[in-house]
Structure 1
Amino acid sequence: MSTAAETAIPAPGDGGQSRSGRGWRIVAALAVTQTIGYGVLYYAFSVFLAPMAADLRASNAQVAAALTLSILIAALCAPLVGRRLDARGGRGLMTVGSVLAAAAVLAWSRVESVAQLYAVFAVIGIACSMVLYESAFAVIVGWFDGDERGRANALLALTVVAGFASSIFLPLTGLLVESYGWRQALLVLAALYGLAAIPLHALVLCRRERAERRSVTSGQRAEIVAAATRRRPFWLLVIAFTANGGAVSVMSVLLITYLIHLGHSPVLAATLAGLLGVLSVTGRLITTGLQTRLPAALIAAAIFALQGVAVLLLPLAGRSVPGAVGCVLGFGLGFGIASITLPHLLVGRYGTAAYATLSGRIATFSVADKALAPLGAVALAESAGYGWVMGAVAVASAIAAFALLAYHRL
C-alpha cells in the first residue's frame, strides 16, 4: 500500500508535553460534546417518537421520516463542512454548529405540525454535520498530525466514551418524558447540550489544529483531493465504508424485530441487541491494538467478513439462544470499527492536509446509505421475508471486506 507521500504534503510533528496535554484536553472536551450530541440529536428521538406522533396526530412513519431527513441533510452537507474544517479548523465551525443545534432542539419542542417537524430536523441535520463525529475526528487528526500512536489512542478514547451515548440518554430521556412530557424534556436536553457544547467548543478547541496546516494553500489542498478522487483507492474506501454503514444501520434497526421473528422473547431480543454497544467498544479496542502489528485495512476486512458470516448464519443458528448469542457477538465486534479505521486509512495514504474534505466526500455516500438502507430493508422484509434481508446484509459485508482487501493491495 502506498504512503501519505503519494499525494499529501508532509507535516512533521513537534511533540512536547504541553502540546500533548492540550491535545488530551481537546479529546476530553470532544468526548463530552460527542456523547451529549449523539444522545440529544440522535438517540433521544426514539423515545420521543410515540408521544410526538400522538400529539401531532401523525403516524409513527411520518414522524420517523424526520430523522431520516436529518441524516440525509447531514450527508449532503458533509463535503462543504469538510472543506471548511480543512481551511479554518474546528473551533468556529463546531461552536456555531452547537449554537444551531441547541436552538433547533428548542424549536423542536415547539413544533405543532409534521411540516414544522421536518423543517426543524433539516436544521438539525445541518447542525449534526458541523458538530458530530466527522468534525470531531477532523479536529483530532489535525491536532495529532505526525503522532500516529497519539492519534489512534485519541480516536479510541473519544469513540469509547461516546459509545455510551445511547446507554446514558435513552433511559435519561425516558425519565424526562415520563416526568415532564416530551416538550419539557426537549427543553431540558437543549439546555444540557447548549451549556456543555457551546463553551467547550468555543474555549477548548483551537482555531487551527497545527501551525503547519496554515502553509497548505487552498490550491494545494484541491490538488490533493483531485488526485485522490481520480484514483481507485479512494473509491474502494467509498465502497467499503458505504456498504458497511448500510449493513450496520440495517441491523441496528431490525435486529430486535428479527430475533423476535425467530421465536425469542422481546426481553431477550432487546438484551442481545443491547450487546451491540458493548461489543462496539470491544471491537474498537481490538482493532486499535492490532493496528500496531497488522495493516488496518486487513484488520477491518477480516472483521467485516466475520460480520457477513455471522449474519448469514443467523437465520440458521439464531433460533436457539446460544446460536443467536454467537451470531450477535460475531456481528457486534465490527459494529464500531469503521469510525476509527477510516481516519487511519485516509491519513496513511493522503496525509492530514485534506483529511476533512476527503472524509466529507466519503460521508456523503456512507451517511446517506445509513439513512436509506433500513427503509429498503423493511420493504424487502415485507415483500420477500427477513431471510433475504440477512442475505443482503451479508453481501454488503462481503463487499466491504473485498473492497478493503483490494485497497490494501494497491
Structure 2
Amino acid sequence: MSAPSAQSRVSPELIVLAGCLIALITFGPRASVGLFQIPMTTEFGWGRDTFSLAIAFQNLLWGLGQPFAGAVADRFGAFKVLCAGALLYALGLVVMAYASTPGVLHLGAGVLIGFGLSGCSFNLVLGAFGKLLPEQWRPMAFGAGTAAGSFGQFLFPPIGNVLIDSFGWHQALVIFAASVLLVMPLALALATRPTAGTATAGAANVPNQSIKQALTEAFQHRSYVLLVLGFFTCGFQLAFITAHLPAYLKDAGLSAAVGGWTLAVIGLANAFGSLGSGWLSTRMSKRWLLAWIYFGRSVAIAAFILLPASPVTSIAFGISIGLLWLSTVPPTSSLVMLMFGTRYMAMLYGFAFFSHQVGGFLGVWLGGELYEIYGSYTVVWWLSIALGIASALINLPIKERPVERGPALQPAE
C-alpha cells in the first residue's frame, strides 16, 4: 500500500476507495429519480410539469450551492461539508417520500436534495482528490470517482424498481435516505486540512491569492469561460434523460422495467466511459476529447429518436450514451486544475458545475413544460442534439496551458 500523502494520514488507495464509495452512494438515488415520476403524478393527479419543476430546482440549487460548498471545503476542509451535505440529502429524500402537495415536493426533492448534493456529491470528492492525492494519481482518480458515481446509477435504479414494487415508492425513498447517511463515516478518509493546497504540474498555486482574485482571474480567462459554457450542454442532456427517459419509454408502450434497466445500463457503461476518459485525458488533447464526446452524444440521441422504440434500441441507447455520460468530467476537472492549480480547485470546478446544473434545470423543466404543451418530448430531444454540436465547437478554441500571471501573483520563492 502506498504511503500517505503530505496532506493526509490516509493512504492514496483508501482515499480513492472512500471517495468512490461516496460518489456511488450519492449519485444512486439522484439518478433513480425518474422512477418516481409516474407513481407520484398518478397518486396525486399532478402533471409532469409539477414533478419536473421540483427536479429542475434540484439541479439548479445543486449547481448554485456547489461553488460555495467548494469554497468552504477549500478553506476549512472537506469532512464537515460532506457530512452536512449528506444530512440535507437524506432529509430531502424523507420529505419527498411524504410530500402530498407540490410545495412540499419542491422543498424536499428540489431545495433540500439540491443543496445536499452540492455538499456531498462527486464534485467535492474530486476536489478532495486534487488536494490529497499525489500528482500521478489524480487523472485516473478523477475517472475512478466519476465511474463510481456511474456505477451507483447502475445499482440503484433496479433496486429502486424492486423497492417500489415490494414496499411502495414512499418507503423506497426512505430506504434511499438511510443509504445516504453512510457518507458520513466514509468522509473521514477525505478530511482535507484547512491549508492552501499543494502545487501541481499545471498552474502553480498562489499563497497570497484571495477568493476574489481567483474568481476574477478565472472569469477573465477565455479558455475557462469556454469550458464553463460547454459544460452547460452536459447538464441539459443528462438531467433531461435521467428525469424523463422512463416516462418517454412508458409513452412508447414499454414497461417501467425497461426504463429502469436502461438507466442502469447507462450507469454501467458510464463507469467504463469515465475510466476510459480519465485514461485518455493523460494521453490526448483534453479539448478534442471533450469535442468528440459532445458530438458523439448528439449522434447517439439522433439515432435513438429516429429508430422505433423497443427494448433493444433502449438498451443500445443506454450503452452508447452511457459511455459518453460523465466522461466529460475527467477532462473538464483536469483542465481546471491545469489552468489554475489545486488551491481553489473545488470552487472553480464548482462554478463550471453551476453552468452544468443551469443546463440541467432547463433540461428537466423544458422536458415537462414542452411535454404538457405538445404531448411529446420531440422538441427537447432535438434541442439536446443541437446543443451537443454547439458544445463540441465551443471546446475547440480552449488553450491547454496554465494561466499567465503577473509578478504580483506569482508564488514566493
Q: Which residue of 2 aligns with 1:139?
A: 128
Q: Which residue of 2 aligns with 1:392?
A: 383
Give yes or no for the alignment of 1:204 onto 2:195: no
Q: Which residue of 2 aligns with 1:158?
A: 145
Q: Which moved more, 1:263-272 or 1:298-307?
A: 263-272
Aligned length: 390
Give yes or no for the alignment of 1:74 onto 2:65: no
> How far is the alpha carbon of 1:222 from its aligned partner?
3.1
Q: Which residue of 2 aligns with 1:62?
A: 50
Q: Give the aligned residue type for 1:178.
A: D
Q: Which residue of 1 aligns with 2:395?
A: 404
Q: Which residue of 2 aligns with 1:45?
A: 33
> How far is the alpha carbon of 1:407 from its aligned partner?
0.7
Q: Which residue of 2 aligns with 1:10?
A: none
Q: Is the partner of 1:79 in helix, strand or coil? A: helix
> How far is the alpha carbon of 1:314 from its aligned partner?
4.6
1:282-319 Cα offsets, whole Å, 9 max, x none, are 32233223233211221121222222234345555668
> How far is the alpha carbon of 1:326 from its aligned partner?
7.0
Equivalent in 101, 105, 116 of residue 113 of structure 1:
101
Q: Is the partner of 2:4 in helix, strand or coil? A: helix
Equivalent in 170, 174, 178 of residue 161 of structure 2:
174
Q: Is the partner of 1:161 in helix, strand or coil? A: helix
Which aligned pairs between 1:255-266 and structure 2 lie closer than 5 A?
Answer: none
Which aligned pairs between 1:10-409 and structure 2 lie closer than 5 A?
Answer: 17-19=3-5, 22-40=11-29, 42-53=30-41, 56=44, 58-121=46-109, 122-144=111-133, 147=135, 149-194=136-181, 196-201=182-187, 203-208=188-193, 212=197, 219-253=209-243, 270=259, 275-314=265-304, 330-377=320-367, 379=369, 383=374, 388-408=379-399
Q: Aligned partners of 1:320, 1:193: CA distance in 2, in Å?
A: 34
Q: Aligned partners of 2:90, 2:315: CA distance in 1, in Å?
A: 39
> How far is the alpha carbon of 1:72 from its aligned partner?
1.7
TM-score by length of 2: 0.80
1:16-44 Cα offsets, whole Å, 9 max, x none, are 6233962221221222222222223x134
Q: Aligned partners of 2:309, 2:36: CA distance in 1, in Å?
A: 32
1:167-186 Cα offsets, whole Å, 9 max, x none, are 32223233333333344444
Cα pair 1:143 1:209 within 8 Å, conserved: no
Cα pair 1:97 1:130 within 8 Å, conserved: yes
Q: Which moved more, 1:155-164 or 1:399-408?
A: 155-164
Q: Give the aligned residue type for 1:297.
A: R
Q: Give the aligned residue type for 2:158.
A: P
Q: Which moved more, 1:53-62 or 1:133-142?
A: 53-62
Provide closer, same or farther for how the CA distance between residues 296 and 106 of structure 1 changes in structure 2, counting only shifts above 3 A.
same
Q: Aligned partners of 2:82, 2:75: CA distance in 1, in Å?
A: 14
Q: Aligned partners of 2:171, 2:304: CA distance in 1, in Å?
A: 41
Q: Is the partner of 1:208 in helix, strand or coil? A: coil
1:46-76 Cα offsets, whole Å, 9 max, x none, are 3444444455564454244322222222222
Q: Aligned partners of 2:208, 2:326: CA distance in 1, in Å?
A: 33
Provide closer, same or farther for how the CA distance between residues 257 and 187 of structure 1 changes in structure 2, counting only shifts above 3 A.
closer
Q: Aligned partners of 1:325, 1:29: CA distance in 2, in Å?
A: 30
Which 5+ residue runs of structure 2 have no aligned equivalent?
200-204, 402-413
Higher helix content, 1 or 2: 1
Q: Which moved more, 1:385-394 or 1:126-135?
A: 385-394
1:326-376 Cα offsets, whole Å, 9 max, x none, are 776554432121122211111111111111121121222211211212332
Across the aligned residues of Structure 1 and Structure 2, the Cα RMSD in angstroms comes to 3.5
Cα pair 1:74 1:125 within 8 Å, conserved: yes
1:215-274 Cα offsets, whole Å, 9 max, x none, are 96574343232111112111101111112321333344555666788x885589746665
Q: Aligned partners of 1:264, 1:130: CA distance in 2, in Å?
A: 38
TM-score by length of 1: 0.81
Q: Aligned partners of 2:319, 2:294: CA distance in 1, in Å?
A: 13
Q: Is the partner of 2:190 in helix, strand or coil? A: coil
> How far is the alpha carbon of 1:142 from its aligned partner?
1.5
Provide closer, same or farther for how the CA distance between residues 344 and 31 of structure 1 changes in structure 2, counting only shifts above 3 A.
same
Identity value in percent: 21
Q: Aligned partners of 1:323, 1:97: CA distance in 2, in Å?
A: 37
Q: Aligned partners of 2:359, 2:394: CA distance in 1, in Å?
A: 17
